[in-house]
Structure 1
Amino acid sequence: MTPLRQQMVDAMQVRGLAVRTQQTYVDALARMAKYYGRSPAQLDAAQIEAYMLHLSKDLRRSFSTINQVSSASRFLFRHVLD
């Protein structure tokens, strides 16, 4: 487990997020990191939005999938990388 992932998991546990929510957030960020080939901590808001647009337009993912990426990214930047 990478140090960033461990920090994310620790922050979610401290805030009482459900285990399934933790897994969903970690998975969403891992997919985004794989898409860009780098850590989500190195991405800016425009790149995250572009990724969500890619999910919507190109891959035709549901709103809930896109919302997971949004929520996970928001959590990462507000509670882990602040």
Structure 2
Amino acid sequence: MAAVKFEYAMARLETIVAELEKGDLPLDDSLKIFEEGIRLSKTCLKMLEDAERKVEILVQEKDGKKRIQAFSPGEDEPERPQ
């Protein structure tokens, strides 16, 4: 499969799911787009894994130790005035 952008792949996956949920496609067409969806989901997973590896590299400290931790929204964010 040629290089495809993550956002395009996700949008196409959403379209495939909607088409399959309708249930009005012939079996052959359903199988064809299901196979496309499987390929796209694998492509998206690989892109996400690659992005995760890049983030891990970026957060390494100078001594080479990783300081990866779970992200929690709100942590380390400045307090907003009310």
Q: Same fold (TM over 0.5)?
A: no
- Between 1 and 2, higher relative CO (CA 8 Å, sep ≥ 6) is seen in 1
Structure with greater helix share of residues: 1
TM-score norm. by structure 1 comes to 0.34
Say which one has the larger Rg: 2
